[in-house]
A and B are shown apart, each in its own frame.
Chain A
């Protein structure tokens, strides 16, 4: 039946902003009135059920308890990391590594083997679907946030995850910077601001100067493996030891028990932000465990973790070239900043009360939506100038690193170097690119090896290959090379040290993308049918009304014809056709709807007069 509809038509497809968090993820969009969260929090958990279906979000979180061996959480910790990097993590997290993951880790989930970007892609796809549901349109472009201190491989892995999920990732934005964007929506805000972001698995500190809509990051620092997870693991180990001494049994090998206990530990941790004490409780079969934890003990336990954030904060202030007194405001982001000890530590360090008004779980996604608005052209008065968190260099003689782009340089940033051959007739030059602050190659993070090949054989030192290193606005390295003698582009092979090759990503996209498209189409058809059911039902009911009988013959025939046409379209797979017919039936019933409405109003008025 006809109803009043308001259509906020958008000519350009909407770009969404996504906070892909360690613990939770969120999607938001920029509206005329400001950024808006599109749906509820999606837990960053992925599970493979017994029929091989991949599930992401809260349903998967429930499976952490029922099917812990088929479920994975905190996968962000593994993004862009190699086998040697994660040995410490493996002691604390129930990641099940599959064989054959040299440069990219592979995880075993039930029968499926997936890389961290593929797992993250399932979380992104869930967010994409949620957004499409609310917006009523396909979503193909996104801004995704990453920890400011993420290195090149971790950023690339996040971008790959987006591509695998069928999203064109227009920009990676640093999480604290995104928070500043959401926080500083008021254009009048000026001055130096610090953003302290302690999330589930990562820690960032950024210092920005706000001026006339420009958000200029002065410096950033952090630790990509420090967060609420570390507190959980600390408490979990205490509880496991308790249980071992109480029950006389080591239960750490029971994944379902460990996950139940982990949930209990998290509940106690969260309660301690508001209550003087909380209990960690577990019921497992007929056995019980409970331990009361007071704030004092809790604070003593977590103090070393909180203190680990202080060094990076001090370094960041120094690198930003500001005094503590110049920092006007401190913004707190991330769930772990709800902990009173964290807040008081920051108050002491920055000598001012930190801002906690914005929901620390939502502010990053909101900021991502603002950046999406900037890219889409809807937000014109704001601009983000971010920096690269780590220095970029190349390997030189003796295992030393020669720095080309220094950390905290505003991005995009570039550097060019001239390379030549060392031996007569040499046709290849190998360039090893690294990221980090240390002097020795072995102490830095290897990014990739670039093999300049097919160099024309000539006398040593004669070749002239100019290589340009560009860190783009996403913080990702791009390398191009030119043969200065011929002026032609120099061909080269790129071998990333960690991460997927382009071909691998392409294959994963093919594998998942078609299916995702299909899923979306199916859902649209399903939704159109639900609407068709509703309008046919309402019209059939209206036909019993006196108003229908009073309609002219021609209009009644038109209504019947429209119902029949909609019924025909109903069984097609074309949601647009169904929607067309719904619209036609809407038009045909316009007069009928009006007549019935008038009748109803008349009755209501009569009723009023009787009652009165």
Chain B
């Protein structure tokens, strides 16, 4: 996987963030275009290619969620696009409450605030279970674990979108 190669890493799901940062800084020092401003056109182009790849790699790998997405993609697994079925009912209720608040019904506010808390909690849970699954897969690569990761990622994405929407709506209406 080229992003791992760019940072000189074995393709693992669990990464130490300090080590990752150090690798990124060390390689930047070596390859950045600033180091080749008086070099040949070839050197300059190579430096640009290396650093843009390095920057992409660091950006993708430093965040566990985007790292897992990259890992799945490279492993030939597509990310699902459907809403996670176990959340359907809650999403429906939440959207109703959002509509009510937009329509000026302040009684929906408390419901949204508590939903926001609950969903933020879910995000934390998702992150924890991702970390555990990363360890498990790195220890013993198994397709079934990747599928589980895929499900958690999907759920996390939905929840994080919901949190964002609710936050936005609560802010807009408290500002008015």
Contacts and interface: CB of A to CB of B under 8 A. Distances in A.
Contacts of B29: 214, 383
Interface string A411-452: 111100000000000000000000000000000000000000
B37 interface: yes
Contacts of B127: none
Given A412-B55, A413-B52, A413-B55, A473 B25 contact: no
Given A211-B25, A214-B25, A411 B55 contact: yes
Given A383-B29, A412-B48, A375 B37 contact: yes
Contacts of B56: 413-414
Interface size grouping (class) on chain B: 10 to 19
A154 interface: no
A383 B31 CA distance: 11
Nearest to A411: B55
A536 B89 CA distance: 98
A409 B66 CA distance: 14
Contact of B33 (A376, A377, A412): A412
A489 to B, nearest CB: 13
B28 A383 contact: yes
B52 A414 contact: yes
A377 B48 CA distance: 18
A46 B28 CA distance: 41
A508 interface: no
Contact of B34 (A212, A375, A409): A375
Interface residues of A, number: 24
Nearest to A377: B38
Interface in B48-100: 48-49, 51-53, 55-56, 58-59
Contacts of A411: 52, 55
Contacts of A414: 49, 52-53, 56
Nearest to B63: A321
Given A211-B25, A409-B59, A410-B59, A384 B34 contact: yes
A400 to B, nearest CB: 18
A470 interface: yes
Contacts of B37: 170-171, 375-376
A470 B52 contact: yes
Contacts of B38: 12, 375-377
Interface in B38-53: 38, 48-49, 51-53
A383 B34 contact: yes
Contacts of B25: 211-212, 214, 216
Nearest to A415: B56
Interface in A130-189: 170-171
B52 A214 contact: no
A234 interface: no
Contacts of A129: none
B32 interface: yes
A414 B51 CA distance: 10
Given A383-B29, A383-B34, A412 B51 contact: yes
Q: Which of A371, A385, A411 has the most CB of B within 10 A?
A: A385
Contact of B55 (A371, A375, A384, A410): A410
B48 A472 contact: yes
A97 interface: no
B28 A385 contact: yes
Interface string A185-219: 00000000000000000000000000110101000
Contacts of B52: 411-414, 470
Contacts of A384: 34
Given A376-B38, A410-B55, A472-B48, 20 more contacts: A12-B38, A170-B37, A211-B25, A216-B25, A371-B34, A377-B38, A385-B28, A385-B32, A409-B55, A409-B59, A410-B58, A410-B59, A412-B48, A412-B51, A412-B52, A412-B55, A413-B52, A414-B49, A470-B52, A473-B34
16 contacts: A170-B37, A171-B34, A374-B34, A375-B38, A383-B29, A383-B34, A384-B34, A410-B58, A411-B52, A412-B52, A413-B55, A414-B53, A473-B32, A473-B33, A473-B34, A473-B48
